[in-house]
A and B are shown apart, each in its own frame.
Chain A
Amino acid sequence: MNGSDNRSVQTEEPIFIISSSPHIHSGSSITGIMADVILAMIPAFLTSLWFFRWNALRLVLVCVISCVLSEFIARKIMRRNNTIQDLSAVVTGILLAFNLPPDLPSWMAALGSFFAIVIAKQLFGGIGYNPFNPALIGRVFLLISFPVQMTTWSRWTIPTPLTGTDAVTTATPLGLVKTSLSASGNIPFVFDTTTAWNFFIGIKNGCIGEVSALAIIIGGIYLLYRKCICWHIPLSFLGTIYLFTLILYKTDPSSNMPPLFHILTGGAMLGAWFMATDMVTSPVTKKGMIVFGCGCGLLTVIIRKWGGYPEGVSFAILLMNAITPLINRFTRPRVFGHYKGKRIEL
């Protein structure tokens, strides 16, 4: 106890706060990061409204509201603190909606949201503890439980088919290719520059958020600028898809689509920029991120080429999520001051 001084300068003082250092902060927060992700998804949301109208709005609203409600109720039942203000449930809702076909009934979307939040996230302990991407778990749950409704698409005109006559279909480009190859062994349409450009903008069939590569890339660049994601995963993911489909295409152009086709169709863009980059379920080190992205890309190509499903991005990402802790363990950086082998010569 310090002695009292009568002749010292004494000043009135408040009750101070004590804590460990540091005493300043960069200002980042989970809510801030999630808000940035939501902003980055606005271009994709706008294109989904443009192409799918009321269905897009309906699905996004249903998913977001279901996710937020599920999280709120689940936390209450588990007697944990309320976490809906960190906006992660909103992000899961929007991402899940983006992964759904436009005609999916609302009750299925709500069920998928409930599954994603409660089973894939809250039962593990909430944000930060989930090993798998909740939105993808929700999508895969719906895909396995309701395979018909999850693979029913709206109408779409095939661009310049090889047969010479216009055709209308209700399949996605990837679905069309898969069924055509396994049935007749032929490519169903020509992938020319116009088609590529259409796919890039979003004039194609697919889940409501994955059709427009342009919108997704704009959002992805915003995320890079705000430092919410690093370039390592998107680049390695898309790059690996491109590389392996290029090898396949060069080997046999008659039964494989060009690499650009694979980048622009299915969930590749959405997966690379928004799903695989989910912080909680992807590796923490830069080297690990590259391994993760390459693994996702490779698995996607394998499933697309030889798997039963036409689209492989969801499964690829989930499989890589499973080995993220292992990747983290094997890509630990060399600690400063620990040498591997020879000491540094003076």
Chain B
Amino acid sequence: MSWKMHKENMNSTRIIKPVKKIPGSVHPPYKKELARNAPIKNVSSMEAHFHISMSQHLGAPAKPIVKKGDTVLRGQKIGEASGFISANVHSPVTGKVIDINEEQTLSGAYASSIIVEASDSEKWGVLMPELDWESASPQQIITRVADGGITGMGGAGFPTHVKLSPPKEKAIDTVIINGAECEPYLTADFRLMLEEPENIKNGALIIRKTLNAKRVIIAIEDNKPEAIRVMEEALKNCDENVFIAVLPTAYPHGAEKQLIYALTGREVPSGGLPMDVGALVENVGTAAAIFNAVAKGIPLVERIVTVTGEAVAIPLNLRVKIGTSFAALLNVCGGTKSKSTKLIAGGPMMGITQTSINSSYTTKTTSGLLLLPDNMISTYSSDPCISCGRCVEACPMHLMPCELSILLEAEDITGAEALNVLDCIECGCCAYSCPSHRPLVQHMRAGKAAIMLKRKQQKNTEKK
């Protein structure tokens, strides 16, 4: 359904257009028709063991506060935030802790993981008291968000209570709720907008109140007209500073810096944060989770995951408890219907490949589980760069990926740093467009890691 067909029927004062066109961008096929019509389904508790990682967020991992043999309740805190940038972790089920092991997370790093054998997975054991968010103070709300272990659910997992406490001099005037979901195949945010618009709306208003901001913009791409309609309906009693922005569909319109630029015209400075330009971006899932934590006292233990891909028998959007194995999710979706040798946690542009279905467990930031059939998997080669310029055209940060990859192949770290490789957001637009199939994003990541290591070593030698 085209966006133009709906436009005539809509109340146009609440719907706004972006003020700027994002730099670069590519247009991969949406592939959302595979799962967009599947309503959110609860994964019933056939999964007995839940592996809850202590590192489900950016920053220091949480510290386990239970030990082997303990009984835990659904909603009970089992991991304590350790440090300024850290988050609590709660148990999604009632059961017994059968082990605490060091396990590999979805990103490849290792962290402690509490393994709970479930006896009841639906009844809440522990909940926080309900808060009236309209009368609560910002500090109360922030404390509640911290207690609830809320982290960014768009993929990065930044602890939300830290994001909601910017320093006094960085005043926020625009809150952007990210419903763009620009990654192909994924429909989790789309279904959430269709089925829980009130929760998202309330979450957005809570964020605005906490930050004392002026306006709220809910950004949705124009390939989701039904979601735009539903959200518009949900906002009908809001004040005039709550908007819905309809974005032209392009990848990566949902990337934080590009989204802020498109909606406000402001560029987040290099090395800076959105608060430096008076903006804040939160995923629609995070907004809904904030509302649940504040108004209903529910900690973050579940999220929507889209299991999709042409190799999956029945693509579905599932409400999944953290710690559920990918094997259980795939089972619910009828397994694979064609051979697939690439298992991706997340979307196809920025997702992370996994080495095992059985040993991969859902976290707070897992938005998708993607299985592509073998004939659709692209392979990287080490062919030389032919200077076609498609990567330069596609880069949303206006970098020159071709030049950077040649420097990084030659291990010229200083040269790459001078060419601003640290500004790369690893979106994958360059490698998507490269006719030589060069592993450009991997080059960028390796370069960034080398620069950070060099800086750390320099700091250490300076200390000596």
Contacts and interface: CB of A to CB of B under 8 A. Distances in A.
The answer to whether A and B interact is yes
Interface of A: 1-3, 5, 7-11, 13-26, 28-30, 32-33, 125-129, 230, 279-286, 328, 332-339, 343-344, 346
Contact of A14 (B341, B349, B352): B341
Interface in B341-370: 341-344, 348-359, 370
Interface residues of B, number: 92
Given A9-B331, A24-B28, 16 more contacts: A2-B359, A3-B51, A8-B48, A8-B358, A14-B339, A23-B348, A24-B184, A26-B432, A28-B390, A333-B392, A336-B267, A336-B423, A337-B257, A337-B271, A337-B423, A338-B269
Contacts of A129: 384
A7 B48 CA distance: 6
Contact of A282 (B383, B387, B441): B387
Contacts of A30: 383, 386, 435-436
A17 B261 CA distance: 36
Contacts of B398: 333-336
12 contacts: A3-B99, A8-B48, A11-B357, A23-B342, A26-B432, A26-B433, A129-B384, A281-B387, A333-B392, A337-B268, A337-B270, A337-B397
Contacts of A125: 384
Contacts of B91: none
Interface of B: 23, 26, 28, 46-49, 51, 99, 101, 103-104, 113, 115, 117, 173, 184, 257, 261, 265-272, 277-278, 325, 327-328, 330-331, 335, 339-344, 348-359, 370, 372, 376-380, 383-390, 392-393, 396-400, 402-403, 420, 423, 426, 428, 431-437, 439, 441-442, 445
Contacts of A127: 384, 386
Nearest 8 pairs of A and B residues by beta carbon: A22-B428, A128-B384, A20-B442, A25-B378, A337-B270, A7-B48, A18-B353, A284-B389
Contacts, number: 206
Given A24-B378, A25-B432, A8 B328 contact: yes
Nearest to B103: A2
B383 A3 contact: no
Given A22-B428, A29-B437, A339 B269 contact: yes
A323 B384 CA distance: 20
A29 B330 CA distance: 33
Nearest to B23: A336
Contacts of A9: 46-47, 325, 327-328, 331
Given A3-B99, A335-B423, A346-B266, A23 B442 contact: no
A26 B28 contact: yes
Contacts of B339: 14
A343 B269 contact: yes
Contacts of B372: 23-24
B435 A33 contact: yes
Contacts of A18: 353-355
Contact of B277 (A11, A126, A128, A344): A344
Contact of A24 (B268, B328, B348, B435): B348
The interface residues of chain B, by DSSP majority, are classed as: loop
Contact of A23 (B113, B377, B384, B434): B377
Given A23-B377, A279-B389, A337-B268, A2 B173 contact: no
B344 A23 contact: yes
B388 A13 contact: no
A131 to B, nearest CB: 11
A282 B99 CA distance: 61
A28 B261 CA distance: 29
Given A3-B103, A22-B428, A13 B358 contact: yes
A17 B397 contact: no
A286 B272 CA distance: 28
Contacts of A1: 103
A6 B453 CA distance: 41
B257 A336 contact: yes
Given A8-B325, A126-B384, A279-B389, A28 B403 contact: no
Contacts of B402: 284
A8 B354 contact: no
Nearest to B99: A3
B386 A279 contact: yes
B387 A5 contact: no
A23 B353 contact: yes
A7 B390 CA distance: 50
A116 to B, nearest CB: 17
Contacts of B331: 9, 11
Given A2-B103, A2-B359, A11 B28 contact: no
Contacts of A5: 48-49, 115
Contacts of B51: 2-3
A33 B392 CA distance: 17
Contacts of A344: 265-267, 277
B399 A346 contact: no
